[in-house]
Amino acid sequence: MVTVSKDGQTSEGIPTLRKVSWRRWLSISATAILVPAVVLVLAEVVLRLCGVGTPTGVMRPCTDQGHAAYCDNQFFPVPFFPSGMYRTPRPYVIPAKKAPGTYRIFVLGESVAWGDPDPTYGFARYLEVMLRERYPSTRFEVINTSITAINSHVLLPMVKDLAQYQPDLFVIYTGNTEVVGPFGPGTVLTPLDLTLPAIRTRIFLNSTRLGQLVGKAAGGNRNNASEWRGMEMFLERQVRADSPQMRPVYENFAANLRDIGAVVRRSGSRVLISTVATNLKDCAPFASLHREDIRQDELKSWEELVQRGVALDEAGSHSEALKLYLSAADIDPQYAELQFRIARCLWAIGDFAGAKERFVRAQDLDTLRFRADTRLNEVIRTATGENPNVGLVDAAAVFAGESAQGVPGGELFYEHVHMNPRGTYLLARAFFSQIVSILPAEMRSGAAGADVVSQEECERLLAFTAYDRVRVAGLVLSKLERPPFTSQLNHSEEVQRIKTQTDASGLNYGDIVAQYQWALVQNPQDRLLHLNYGFLLHRYEPAAAEKELLAALPYDNAPVLCNWRKFD
C-alpha cells in the first residue's frame, strides 16, 4: 500500500501533484511551446539559406543601369494561387534610394488597375502623364504593382510590405474579384469556408519557406489546377446574391480596407480608394439561377411567360413584352437575366429611371460575380470615411455622370469592367483630381497650368495610335469569343460592336512610326514606349526592333522582356 508523508511524497518517494508548483507547470508549458517554435524558426532559416522555396515580398533587390534598385518579385503571388497559375505584375523598377523631390505612388488592384487588356495603356499610365505634364518640376514615380484576379485579402499584405519603400500615396481600385479572387466563395484558387483569422494565418504560413515545402509535399493546392484559363475556370462557382456565403465577403472586405487604412496611417502616407464602375447597360449577366424554393408548376408558368415575352421583344413590341416579363418576375424575381430583359424594355420605352434600377438589380443578381455589386461599393464608401488618411474616389458616380441617363455602358467599357480609352481616361482623371488636392504645397506651386491634360494629349504622349487601338480591340474580341461571355444574352451584339473597332484597312505604317518617334522624343526614358515601338517594328525592321526592345528592358538582367504581351 502506498502512503503519503507530511513532506508531500509517497512512501515510494514520488512527489504528489500538490507539490508541483505553478512555476514548474509554467516552465513545462513554456518549454512545450518554445521548443517547437525554435525548431520551426531554425528550419525556416535553414530552408532560406539552402534556397528552398521562393521569397514572397512584393519587391526584390536588383540593379538598374548599374544602380541599386528594387524590382517586381514574380514570386509574390505564390501564397495565393495554385502551382502553375500564378498571376504576376508587369515588370517595374524603382531606385533603392528615393531621390529628393520625388512623389512615390503605388497603384494596387486587380485586372482593371493592372490595365487589362493592355497595361501599357492602363489608367496608371494616363495618371502618370497627367501628373508629369501638370507638375514638370516634380518627379512622379507611379508604380503599378497590380495583379490580375487578386482581391483585398492580397492587397492588405501588399500594402504592409510596400509601406517600407517610402510611399507618399497608395492608389487602390478593387472590388470586382472579391468573390472570385483568393479565399472568396466563388473562387477556384484557394480553399473555401475560412474565417478571416484563418485566411490571414494561411497566407502567413504559405509565405514561409517551410509552408511552401509542406504544401509542395502535400501535392499543392487541392484544386489541382495546371494552367490559367481565365474567367471560364469559374463557371461552376456560381454564388447567389442571398447566399449566406456573401455576408463574410462584405465583412472581410470592410475589415481588410480598415486595416489597409491603419497600415497607411502608421506609415505616414496616404491612400485613395475608389468605388468600382461597371458596365450596366451593355453587359448582360453571365449566369442566372432561379430562386431555390421555386415549384415545378411555378417554373413552368415562368418559362411560358418569358418565352412569349421574348417573341414580342424581338418583334419590337417592348411594352407588351414588358408586361409578360413583369408577370414572370412576380413568380421569380431572382433570375438575373430576366431583370436585364426588363431593363432593356424599360429603356426602349423611355423609362430610364426604371431601367437603371433593373440594370443594377441584374448585375447584383448575377451568379458569376465578376463585377462589384452595389453593397461592395457601399463598403468602400463607408471604409473611406473612417480614417483621415483614406480618401474616396467615387468612380461609380463619375462614370454615371458621363453616361446617358446615368447608366454606364459600351461607350466607356470594352466588356464587363475593363475600360476603353475614354473610360480609362475618366478613371485616371478622377484620381488625378484627388491627388492634386493632397500634394504638398511646394509641389503644387510648380504647376505648369490650371487644367488636366486632355484625353487626346495623354494618348499622343503614350503613343496610343490607331494601330494600337485596333490591336487592343483584337485582344478584347478574342476574350469575348470564350465563356462566360458566349452565354450572355447580348453576346452577338457585343461581338459586333468590338469587331467594328478591329478594322485595320486604313492604317498608315509611316504615320504610326512617326507618332511613336514623336512620343519618344518627349519622354525618351519611357520603357513602355520603347516596348510597344519595338513590337510595331519587329515585322518590318528587325534590327531597329531589337534596339527598342533592349531599351525596354525593365531592369538589368531581366529574365523576360515582358510577361503581359507576346509577339503578334
pLDDT tier for residue 223 given thresholds of 50, 70 and 90: very low
Superfamily of domain 59-280+389-457 in CATH is SGNH hydrolase (3.40.50.1110)
| 41 has a pLDDT exceeding 70 | no
Which residues make beta-bridge pairs with 271?
A: 170, 390
Grid cell digits, residue 546: 531589337
| 560 has a pLDDT exceeding 90 | no
Q: What is the pLDDT of residues 382-405, one digit of tens each?
A: 999 888 889 999 999 999 999 999
Q: What is the pLDDT of residues 147-177, one digit of tens each?
A: 999 999 999 999 999 999 999 999 999 999 9
Q: What is the pLDDT of residue 84?
A: 77
| 457 has a pLDDT exceeding 60 | yes
Average pLDDT, the chain: 90
327 exposure class (CB count in 10 Å sphere: 0-12, 13-18, 19+) = middle
Q: What is the pLDDT of residue 110?
A: 97
Q: What is the mean pLDDT of residues 59-77?
A: 94
More confident call, 22 vs 153? 153
| 355 has a pLDDT exceeding 90 | yes
Q: What is the pLDDT of residue 387?
A: 84
61-70, 190-199, 346-355: segment of lowest average pLDDT: 190-199
Give me the helix-helix angle, 296-314 and 318-331, nearest 10°. Answer: 170
Q: What is the pLDDT of residue 37?
A: 62
| 328 has a pLDDT exceeding 90 | yes
| 52 has a pLDDT exceeding 80 | no
Contact 514, 534 (CB under 8 A): no
Q: What is the mean pLDDT of residues 283-291?
A: 98
| 28 has a pLDDT exceeding 70 | no
Separation CA 96–CA 61 (nearest Å): 8
Which class is 296-365 in CATH? mainly alpha
- How do the domains of the chain map onto residue ranges? 1-51, 59-280+389-457, 296-365, 509-551
Q: What is the pLDDT of residue 449?
A: 80
Query: Do 296-365 and 59-280+389-457 have the same topology in CATH?
Result: no
Q: What is the pLDDT of residues 410-446, one digit of tens each?
A: 999 999 999 999 999 999 999 999 999 999 999 998 8
As a whole-number percent, the residues of the chain with pLDDT over 90 amount to: 77
Per residue, what are the HEC states of 58-110? Answer: CEEEEEECCEEEEEECCCCCHHHCCCCCCCCCCCCEEECCCCCCEEEEEEEEC
As a whole-number percent, the residues of the chain with pLDDT over 70 amount to: 87
